[in-house]
Structure 1
Amino acid sequence: MIVNCARLGAGELAADDSVRPIRGQHVVVKNPGITEFFSEDTGLSPDLVCIYPHGETVVLGGTAIDGEAGLQEDPATARRSSSAARQSNLGWRRLPSSRPESEHGQHAPRRVSR
């Protein structure tokens, strides 16, 4: 068995032109006591709605932009992600708004897809 873990270099390494980047971004905020995970199917939209509690923090997401490889964080995307998470379900309105004092960070990872 051969496992190709070359990430964005996988296409070149395996001579596979169908490998492409997908840029993601999510926001990490202080957890106000949420214990349940939530994820909404947004169809083909690059904007994702998810809430993933991790102890003291909550990950709010995010994006999945096909074909984009950039790693820069986008403040507008962060605001949309946190707003969509708060509006997704009445029980999640306890989430703090994405203000500097409540935000622990933004992450803009990328992954590959075929």
Structure 2
Amino acid sequence: METETLCSDEDAQDLLRESQISLLQLSTMEVAAQLSMRDFELFRNIESTEYVDDLFKLDSSVGSGNLKQFEEVINQETFWVATEILKEPNTLKRMKTIKHFIKIALHCRECKNFNSMFAIIR
């Protein structure tokens, strides 16, 4: 049985090159909107009793899984920002990355997503 190639090696290389995108190519407004939507989805799943149960270390039927998941996302956002900035060896690109994150944080503030805003600027 003979297999047929779907595309040439040259086309495959072009597709691979086009599929790799950097943070600086992403719209700051769109990144902020996506962060806000993800955070809101997690936030709305938190039961109001989870806060009290977690604060006073009470056992409950609901638990505090949604609250912990929301906390973890904020920690991931903070780690993501630090990682993106520190992995850039070029000083000019690092400066552009920091500026890009500041713009994302400003858009998060406009979306009233203060959790992501503080996670980014921290």
Does the pair score TM above 0.5? no
Q: In proportion to residue count, which structure has more strand?
A: 1
With the shorter chain as reference, the TM-score category is 0.3 to 0.5
Larger of the two Rg values belongs to structure: 2
